[in-house]
Amino acid sequence: MSDTGISSSSFAARGPSLRALAESALLIATIYLIMGAIYVSVQPSALSAYSIESLFNNSLPLMLAAAGATFVILQGGFDLSVAGVISLVNVVVAVTPLEGPLGALGLLAIALLIGMGVGAVNGLIVAGLKIQAIAATLATMIVCQGAALLVLGAPGGYVSDFMAYELTGSVLGVPLALWIALAGVALWSVYRRTDAGRNLLAVGQDRKAAALSGIDVARTEFFSFVWAGAYYALAAYMLAAQTSTGSPNAGEPFLLLTFAAVALGGTAFGGGRGSVTASLFGAATLMLMQKVMFALGVSSFYTGVIQGLIMILAVLFAAGVQLAIRSGKRP
């Protein structure tokens, strides 16, 4: 029960069941499953191995991007560089011809190096120079977009056959994309129980209190950006594998959708409450929602209306649950 740091004890006193609902990914996971059921009922072919594989392949980049952004948001920060890092890593992967499994591994290392490098720069500017995260990461995002254009001026490039086929295929009958997502869930459930994970949430809940209780706030901030960068890089890497090509604008659609996914997962903007697992489900729900609306025959012009409304409702619902926790303490 101490995994949320400072106010965990008071939260626990306010009813563990509601608290668990708000803190865990249970809610968004339920929504995802209901939506999946609707999808399958209107489109029975959705259960074919090919459909399932392609659904997870399509969803994975956004899921990873949202997972990364969650690290920064949990400590109360903001990271717009997601769009820039994805564009940059995506084109680097697409123009670096390394064949075979070892080549893919080498490219993954390069990708992570770039992502964590940009994350470290973000961390230094925000935690070291005390510059507002939104403004600082806006600047690094633009720099990365420019760098992506230098690497590849127009959409093009290609990835090795290994990346294009093996990384988008299945292992032991389960799509590799799903394995990666599950690894993300497992990693988070371990991380949130470590000191670093507790500190992340404690800093997000109350910076002053965290600093007073001996947490190195600047260090926590710094590493949240570095982990975020690693996840963005992995997202861009998997995006390149999925599309078999690169684009200097690959990251642009991710800018808003990433934060929409995090919001849908119920993670509080401002920090201190939420989980990476919930964001993974939030992103998956967002992608599944598009498929469901298409299957239901909603004109693709108007899908944005429903997306926007669901985002607002999700935030309101999460706030409502919080309110219920607070008032539920009385009896």
Partner 1 sequence: MTQSSETMDGPATTPQDTRRAQRLSSTSVAVIAIYGLVVAMILLSRAVSPAFGGLSQVETIFYLAAFLVFCAFGQGLVILVRGLDLSIASLITLGGVLSTALMAGSNDGLFYILPAILLACALIGVVSGIGVTFFAIPPFIMTMAVGIIVYSLCLGFTQGTPRGFPSPLLRDLMQARLLAIPAPIWLLLAFVAVGTVLQGYSAFGRKLNAVGNNPEAAYVAGLSARTLTISAYAVSAACAGLTGILLAAYANGATLRMGDDYLLPSIAAVVVGGSSILGGRGSFLGTVGGALLLTTLATILSALGIGQGWKTILEGLVILVALIVLREQVFDALQAGLRGLKKG
Residues that bind partner 1 (CB under 8 A): 78, 125, 129-132, 134-136, 138-151, 153, 207-208, 256, 259-260, 263, 269-270, 299, 301-305, 307-309, 311-312, 315-316, 319
Tokens standing for residue 82: 């997601």
Q: Is 70 or 168 the residue whose CB approaches partner 1 more closely?
A: 70
Q: Which residues are registered as beta bridge partners of 171?
A: 174
> Nearest approach, Cβ of 20 to partner 1 (angstroms)?
23
The closest alpha carbon to 139, from 121, 112, 114, belongs to: 121
Q: Is 16 or 270 the residue whose CB approaches partner 1 more closely?
A: 270
> Nearest approach, Cβ of 109 to partner 1 (angstroms)?
24
> Nearest approach, Cβ of 15 to partner 1 (angstroms)?
22
> Nearest approach, Cβ of 275 to partner 1 (angstroms)?
17
102 phi and psi, to 5 degrees? Answer: -65, -40
Tokens standing for residue 130: 């005390």
Place of tokens 């295929």: 169
Q: Is 125 or 203 the residue whose CB approaches partner 1 more closely?
A: 125
The closest alpha carbon to 239, from 81, 73, 140, 92, belongs to: 92
The closest alpha carbon to 114, from 226, 268, 252, 240, belongs to: 226
Q: Is 235 or 261 the residue whose CB approaches partner 1 more closely?
A: 261
> Nearest approach, Cβ of 261 to partner 1 (angstroms)?
11
Q: Is 238 or 263 the residue whose CB approaches partner 1 more closely?
A: 263
The closest alpha carbon to 165, from 100, 109, 218, 86, belongs to: 100
Distance CA 11, CA 144 (A): 41
Q: Is 175 or 282 the residue whose CB approaches partner 1 more closely?
A: 282
User: Can you tell me whether residue 159 is helix, strand or coil?
Assistant: coil
> Nearest approach, Cβ of 206 to partner 1 (angstroms)?
11
**DSSP letter for each residue of 73-123:** HHTT---TTHHHHHHHHHHHHHH----HHHHHHHHHHHHHHHHHHHHHHHH
187-204 as b/e, with b when 16 or more CB fall inside 10 Å?
ebeeebeeeebbbbbbbb
Q: Is 78 or 281 the residue whose CB approaches partner 1 more closely?
A: 78
Output DSSP code: residue 246: B
Q: Is 37 or 134 the residue whose CB approaches partner 1 more closely?
A: 134
> Nearest approach, Cβ of 289 to partner 1 (angstroms)?
12
Distance CA 245, CA 260 (A): 26
> Nearest approach, Cβ of 248 to partner 1 (angstroms)?
8
